Amino acid sequence: MYPSRFRYEAPHTVAEAIRLLAAGGDNAKVLAGGQSLVPLMKLRFAAPELVVDINNLPGLSYHRADPDGTLRIGALCRHADLERSALLAGTQPTMAAAAPLIADPIVRNRGTLVGSLCHADPQGDWASVVLSLGGSVVAEGPDGRRSIPMTDFVTGPFQNLLAPDEIAVEAVIPAAQGERRGGYLKLERRVGDFATVGVAVSLETAGEVVRRAGIALTGVGASTIAASAAAAALTGHSLTAESIAAAASAAAEAARPRTDHRGSAEYKRHMVATFVERILTRCSAEPAERAA
Amino acid sequence: MTDIAMTVNGATRTGSVEARKTLADFLRDDLDLTGTHVGCEHGVCGACTVIVDGRAVRSCLMLAVQAAGSEVTTIEGLAPDGALGTLQQAMWDSHSFQCGFCTPGFVMQASAFLSAHPDADEQQIRAALSGNLCRCTGYQSIIDGVLLAARRSRAGISEGISEG
Amino acid sequence: MAQIAAQRYTGASIRRSEDPRLLTGRGRYVDDIKLPGMLHAAFVRSPLAHARVLSVDVCAARALPGVVAAFTGADLEAMTVPGPDALSTLMGAAGPTPEFTLLATDKVRFAGDPVAVVIAESRYLAEDGCELVEVDYDELPPVASADFALDPGSPPLFANLGDNIARSRSRNEFGDIAATFAGADRVYDFRIDVHRHQNVPMEGRGCVASYDPDLGVLTMHAATQSVHVAKIAVTMRLGMEPDKVRVLAGDIGGSFGLKIGASREELATAAASRALGRPVKWVEDRTENLTASGQAREESFNVRAAVSNDGDLLGLDVTMVIDTGSYPGMGGMVPAIIEAMLPGPYKLAALGFESVGVTTNKAPYVAYRGPWASETFVRERVLDLIAKDLGLDPLEIRLRNAAPRTDPPAVMLTGRPLAGVTTRESLERVAKLADIPAFRRRQAQARAQGRYLGIGVATFIEAAPGPRSPEGASGPMGSESMRLRLDEDGFVVLFTGQMPHGQSHQTTLAQIAADEFGVPFEQVRVVVGDTDVVPFGLTGGSRSATMTGGVTLHGARRLKAKVLDFASHLMEVSAMDLQITDGNVGVRGDPASAVAVSEIARQAASGEFGADVDARLEVEAVFDGGEGGWSGGSHCAVVEVDVETGIVTVERYVAVEDCGVLINPAVVEGQIRGGVAQGIGAVLLERSAYDADGNFQSATFMDYLLPTACDVPRIEIEHLQTVPLDADVNFRGVGEGGMIVAPPTIVNAIEDALSPFGVRIYEQHLPPARILELIATAGSAQPSGSAQPGRSAQPGGR
């Protein structure tokens, strides 16, 4: 099970990487963790002519909070770093809930959050998390950097908005407008499986009132789904049984699941509602995380 | 073809490889270190697990060129000179394995995990090994081996207990 | 009853002599083998389930730098001898024999069917070459279900057969079926389905075939359960004389029934090596293993059960359809074994068994750990279903129906005596360990909180190897050979046809030999894996504990007698006064007289003795199984079903096993746990799925899900004090039992958990989506257990 031949470059600066991608055109792929790309290439579902390995780019392994609370995650920050992160444990409940659920422990040593966003697998967990947090991806190209909101970043299954000569260098989670609450639940048939259904819920509260809410869904559509109506149902209110039920139902409405061997569309929709309800119920009972 | 050099089990090793050659195949074919096994080739079974720069990785998903300049430890390098390390000894004593094919991957991942989490309990160990598949044992004997190794390490029984 | 010479090793969990090597990466599996000039093979495989092959063009592949050769099916036909499947022939399979070529020439018959082989300097290049092979297919309607295969209108896979019946319909009756069913209080009708799943050893199939053109000798380095059976397959297909073929095997990464004989790919690899005069390696990747190596268990059963109002299972009338896939494998042989085993350890008065095997456009049906396992699934499911309908306790209905242990033993309706079967004891013991009354209280409390726990019990017997058939030992599996020798280095060397692939023979046989002969454990060497050196044998059927343990015991005794006889000449002492302890021959009661066995052996080899002294310290032993009996036991599982997600957690699992005298308890327990884990996998995770067009959908480990360390609980095991049947050899096999009884144990527990919903389960594969479907549709099919006269029909299946 081997990939077809490809050219391989391992640049040492972002500028060099961008130049290589520009020259490579449509047939180049960026290699970060490789935990998704390499299997695809080995199964010959992907056959790029040029692979640009960004693992040697310096200074991209970070994840840190700015003084104003903005969280920045570099392109080479591994899932395991986030899983172990005291910063996330203390300030980012949705992310902290998702990190240990990504794939399996060995994959988490190499795979990256930014790479996962770029891979845009409808069953990828981080995209829902970042979407629910109102995050964005910072792309760098020949003309400099631009920030792409997560809502725009994924354009379809395994498709993102990056130009062929752009590299995603960072994911950004904006500072909270209140205290953070949230969670991520993933229904998998077995540890390490792709999500049958995943739900990310991120709230920012001031007192009991939800100032901002984000709900995003994994595995129940052609790509990650932002359940905007569900989030809107919570915004400006406190969490009550009624508002929770309304959000759960709206989220299920937003889902576009297919019936397959993992289950029927109705089953998946039901799980969306169940998970939204479970996370929100837990949020209403637990103390909030302080924003950094 | 690219010339690469890396440190493998403490020694500098070199080779000339195509970009698409996996680290697993480089170790097995070019360096004759056949202890690392290939069980699925697409990054699920864990038989190919080695340590690269201190982290357990799936060597079937890493290109050999990516490991250039790195420090790699394979099963052959865990306890040199024919001795068994604490973990290996504990697994021997616990009848951890049967056919032996998944063994190197489990040993490397468990070794890396125990180094970082010497006080792990059974649930944590099972979670840490959830990326390694075994078809023969039902896992219990493997978990028992890891638990025994952890207990012995805590009690200060040292590495390098030889056979017998 | 004669004792084993010294009870030092047998019965103890001696550490394995295999492990220091395997734990330090010094195993030698087939993919580790590198020979000078070795080439690599990769196969072009059909993407279609059923198609005519119009043309195969390998020119572009041959032209690729690094590709040394590319052979089509036609090329391989010219290089090989057509013939039936070697394993089927060996096992005496009856029935129509489909005609087909080694690689596909005129037709492809399953998605993954090999069509051409590319030989190159590396596997990488061979795969590149495969991409350049052009095959022109003319698609045919796929036969993707047993129902369609049974339809005479389905396009026959094999032109010479004319239909898709792999094994003709046949029916046997034991006892008086008509009277039993007419006289029963109730008659139930069930339809029970077992799904397709497969072996999935961590090491796939593979070989290195090395033809030496100067000597005309082919050496096959194989991953196999029998070097001799592999050799037979190779000699037949390549048309070579036996003395020109040698099969070697080293470490093998599991098999579970898969690696017996030689697959079409291995035979093609051997033919390629001969054609090229160079070694050729072929090791399948995981996609090939899942898609093409073979699958098992896809069987459906219509079961009629004649039952008394008190829960006596009086009779079973079963009709079975087995989907044997495309090319012939084990499938044709399974119905007969299922028929023989169906009565189980129960007092059945009548059995009717009808079966038919069909050919479909799927991978071939191969042996998978306990190939007949469905009989236990059917029987243990049926008992629970009947118990529920009659309001009986599942344990009680089994105890009621279990044949009592009598002397002489009760005889199964299908002929074999239930000698030494301890079903009642294991059922009672597992119930005690599980503390069922306490569980029921806990279950009730949990239900009040909206949590659904369930407990399930199932019992089984396994012919491991089982009592000798009335006709005596017959066929290659009916006896076991071994050569034993005392070498000049003092080692007792055992040459066995066993081919361990996780069974720890090199440890267990050494334990027996060491005890019996009188040397330390470390002074026994077990030689396996070379057709030039070992006698015929096969590791499979859970027979080695009895057969090989037995031949080791008796052989070691005979060798010891020979050695003492020779030593008596040497030491001028009567053999009766001599003993062997700790590797030394000495006069009883006179420690100073001790002479190392190595010294005895050196003297024997010196050639100084005349013809009247037998100085050849070697014996050829054969063992027919003695009074070998059944293994068996009862298992119990506690599960929790999350009725919102459908996720099932196995919370607790208890096994009470009777496998006779244990040679090495840790080895026995490892076998049981591994089998149970496969049972958990089968029920909750594993399915070899095909769509309606015969496209295979479980081709990677992301689709074919194996259980992980988070899915298999601690499995508590207790061994029963067994009933010895033989004066010496009471070791019985245990390799397959876990996988046979775990699926019904778990399904019984799941049904128990869901009984508040009225769920009844007639199938084995219960992923979360299916659990929720069962809950949603329960109650629409009510069990009707109304009393006679007349029949009570149970709508079965889904």
Between C170-179, C406-415, C491-500, the lowest mean confidence (pLDDT) is in: C406-415
Q: Are C151 and C358 in contact (CB under 8 A)?
A: no
C609/C638 same-domain check: no
Which chains share 3+ C-beta pairs under 8 angstroms with C?
Answer: A, B
State the sign of the Cα–Cα–Cα–Cα dihedral A101, A107, A109, A110. negative
* Measured distance CA(B129)–CA(C708) in Å, rounded: 8
Tell whether C326 and C264 lie within a shared domain.
Answer: no
Backbone Cα Rg of chain B:
16
Chain C hits for B97, Cβ within 8 Å: 19, 22-23
Residue of C nearest to A264 (CA): C769
Under a CB-based contact definition with an 8 Å cutoff, are residues B102 and B47 in contact? yes
All partners of chain A with 3 or more CB pairs under 8 angstroms? B, C
CA-based nearest distance B11→chain A, Å: 23
Which of C43 and A261 is assigned the larger pLDDT? C43
pLDDT, position C791: 38
Whether chain A has a CB inside 8 Å of the CB on B123: the answer is no
Q: Which of C124, C644, C700 is closest, CB to CB, to A2? A: C124
Calculate ∠ Cα A52-A44-B135, nearest 5°.
Answer: 110
CA pair distance C24, C8, nearest whole angstrom: 28
pLDDT value at C5 more than 70: no
Query: For residue C579, is pLDDT > 90?
Result: yes
Tokens of C757: 């919903």
Residue-wise over B1-24: b if at least 16 C-beta within 10 A, else e?
eeebebbbbeeebebebbbbbbbb
Predicted confidence (pLDDT) per residue in C741-794, tens digit: 999 999 999 999 999 999 999 999 999 999 999 999 997 544 443 333 433 333
What's the pLDDT tens digit per position in C222-271?
Answer: 999 999 999 999 999 999 999 999 999 999 999 999 999 999 999 999 99
Residue of A nearest to C688 (CA): A261
Say whether pLDDT at A94 is over 50: yes
All CATH 3.10.20.30 domain ranges of chain B, comma separated, are 2-74
Distance CA C117, CA B87 (A): 43
Query: Are the Cβ atoms of A106 and B42 closer than 8 angstroms?
Result: no
- Interface contact flag, B42 C286, Cβ < 8 Å: yes
A265, A270, A273, A278 alpha-carbon torsion, rounded to 10° = -130
Mean pLDDT of all residues in A147-172 = 97
How many separate helices (H) and strands (E) can be counted in chain B?
A: 5, 5
**Does the pLDDT at position A290 exceed 50?**
no
Strand locations in C123-185, DSSP E? 134-139, 165-174
Q: Which helix (H) or strand (E) holds B150?
A: helix B140-154
Q: What is residue B163's predicted lDDT score, i.e. its pLDDT?
A: 38
Residues C77 and C225 in one domain: yes
| CATH number, domain containing residue C133 | 3.90.1170.50
Angle between the N-to-C axes of helices C423-434 and C394-401, in degrees from 0 to 180, rounded to the nearest 10: 160
Question: Is C327 inside a domain boundary?
Answer: yes
> Least CB-CB distance to C127: which of A2, A262, A270?
A2
Q: Give the model's pLDDT for residue C611.
A: 80
Token pair in block for residue A204: 């920012």
For C25, the closest of B35, B40, B102 (CB atoms) is B35
Regarding whether C582 and C476 lie in a shared domain, the answer is yes
- How many domains are there within chain C? 3
The mean pLDDT value for C589-594 works out to 92
Rounded distance between C-alpha atoms, residue C430 and residue C655, angstroms: 7
B92 in contact with C, Cβ within 8 Å = yes
Task: Kindly state whether residues C283 and C424 are assigned to the same domain.
Answer: no
C796 in a structural domain:
no
DSSP, residue by residue, C670-683: HHHHHHHHHHHHHH
- CB C194 within 8 Å of CB C365: no
Q: What's at B124, amino acid-wise?
A: Q
Ranges for all domains in chain B classified under CATH 1.10.150.120? 86-154
Q: Are residues C672 and C724 in the same domain?
A: yes
**Partner-chain contact A267 C646, CB within 8 Å:** yes
- Does residue C665 form part of some domain? yes
Taking 3-state DSSP, the helix, strand and coil percentages for chain C, each rounded to the nearest 5, stand at 30, 25, 45
Q: Tell me, yes or no, whether C168 lies in a domain.
A: no
Domain assignment of residue C408, given as a range: 299-467+627-777
Task: Supply the CATH number for residue C643's domain.
Answer: 3.30.365.10
Q: Is the pLDDT of residue A263 over 70?
A: yes
pLDDT in tens, C424-449: 999 999 999 999 999 999 999 999 99
Question: How buried is C676 (Cβ within 10 angstroms: 0-12 exposed, 13-18 middle, 19+ buried)?
Answer: buried
What one-character DSSP code corresponds to residue C452?
A: E
Residue of chain A minimizing CA distance to B50: A106
Phi first, then psi: what are they for C384, rounded to 5°?
-65, -40
**Domain check: are C130 and C212 in the same one?**
yes
Q: Which residue of B has its CA nearest to A9?
A: B19
Three-state SS for chain A is CCCCCCEEECCCCHHHHHHHHHHHHHHEEEECCCCCHHHHHHCCCCCCCEEEECCCCCCCCCEEECCCCCEEEECCCEHHHHHCCHHHHHHCHHHHHHHHHCCCHHHHHHCEHHHHHHHCCCCCHHHHHHHHCCCEEEEEECCEEEEEEHHHHEEECCEECCCCCCEEEEEEECCCCCEEEEEEEEECCCCCCCCCEEEEEEEEEECCEEEEEEEEEECCCCCCEECHHHHHHHCCCECCHHHHHHHHHHHHHHCCCCCECCECHHHHHHHHHHHHHHHHHHHHHCCCECCC
Tell me what percent of the residues of chain C surpass a pLDDT of 70. Answer: 94
* pLDDT for res C439: 98
What is the spatial distance between Cα A3 and Cα C753, in angstroms, rounded to a whole number? 47
Per-residue pLDDT band at C475 (split at 50, 70, 90): low
Question: Which residues, 6 or more positions from A43, have their beta carbon under 8 angstroms from its beta carbon?
Answer: A1, B42, C287, C700
**Strand order across the beta sheet in which A28-31 lies:** A7-9, A50-53, A28-31
Measure A1 CA to nearest chain C CA, in Å: 6
Q: Determine the pLDDT at residue C470.
A: 61
Which residues in chain C have their CB less than 8 angstroms from residue B113's CB?
Answer: none
Chain B residues in contact with A9 (beta carbon < 8 A):
none
pLDDT of C705-741, one tens digit each? Answer: 999 999 999 999 999 977 788 889 999 998 999 999 9
Token pair listed for C15: 């550490």
Instruction: Give the one of A8, A43, A55 whose C-beta lies nearest to B42's C-beta.
Output: A43
**Domain B86-154 part of CATH 1.10.150.120:** yes
- Best probe of the A interface among C130, C288, C645, by most A CBs < 10 A, is C645
Do C416 and C366 have their domain in common?
A: yes
Q: Sheet harboring C648-658: ordered strands across?
A: C452-462, C631-641, C648-658, C715-719
ipTM higher than threshold 0.85: yes
- In this model, does residue C89 exceed pLDDT 90? no
Give the alpha-carbon dihedral of C286, C287, C291, C293, to 10 degrees.
-30
Mean pLDDT of C639-663: 96
CB B61, CB A35: distance < 8 Å: yes
- Of C732, C244, C98, give the one whose Cα is nearest residue C462: C732
Residue type, C207: C
- By C-alpha distance, the chain A residue nearest B47 is A106
The answer to whether residues C636 and C719 belong to one domain is: yes
- What is the average pLDDT value for chain C, to the nearest integer? 93
Are C315 and C180 contacting, i.e. CB atoms less than 8 angstroms apart? yes
pLDDT in tens, B91-147: 999 999 999 999 999 999 999 999 999 999 999 999 999 999 999 999 999 999 999
CB contact under 8 A, A107 and B131: yes
In this structure, the answer to whether residues C557 and C459 fall within a common structural domain is no
Contacts with B, A 92-131, CB within 8 Å:
103-107, 109-110
* Residues of C in Cβ contact (< 8 Å) with A262: 767-769
Kindly state whether residues C685 and C701 are assigned to the same domain: yes
Note the residue count of chain C: 798
Residue C796: predicted pLDDT: 34
State the nearest Cα–Cα gap between B159 and chain A, in angstroms.
25
What is the third-level CATH fold of B2-74?
A: Ubiquitin-like (UB roll) (3.10.20)
How confident is the model at residue C94, as a pLDDT?
62
CA distance A40 to A31: 12
The answer on pLDDT for A89 being more than 90 is: yes
CA atoms of A233 and C134, how far apart (whole Å):
58
Selecting from C31, C502, C714 the residue whose C-beta is nearest the C-beta of B136 gives C502
In this predicted structure, the answer to whether residue C367 has a pLDDT above a threshold of 50 is: yes
Q: Which residues of A touch chain C, with CB atoms under 8 Å apart?
A: 1-2, 4-5, 43-44, 187, 189-194, 196, 261-264, 267, 270-271, 274
Please name each of the domains of chain A with its CATH number. Answer: 7-53 (3.30.43.10), 63-173 (3.30.465.10), 179-285 (3.30.390.50)
- Kindly report the nearest CA distance between residue B126 and chain A, in angstroms: 11
Q: What is the DSSP letter of B29?
A: I
| DSSP class per residue in C508-534 | HHHHHHHHHHT--GGGEEEE-SBTTTS
Identify residue C570 by its one-letter amino acid code.
L
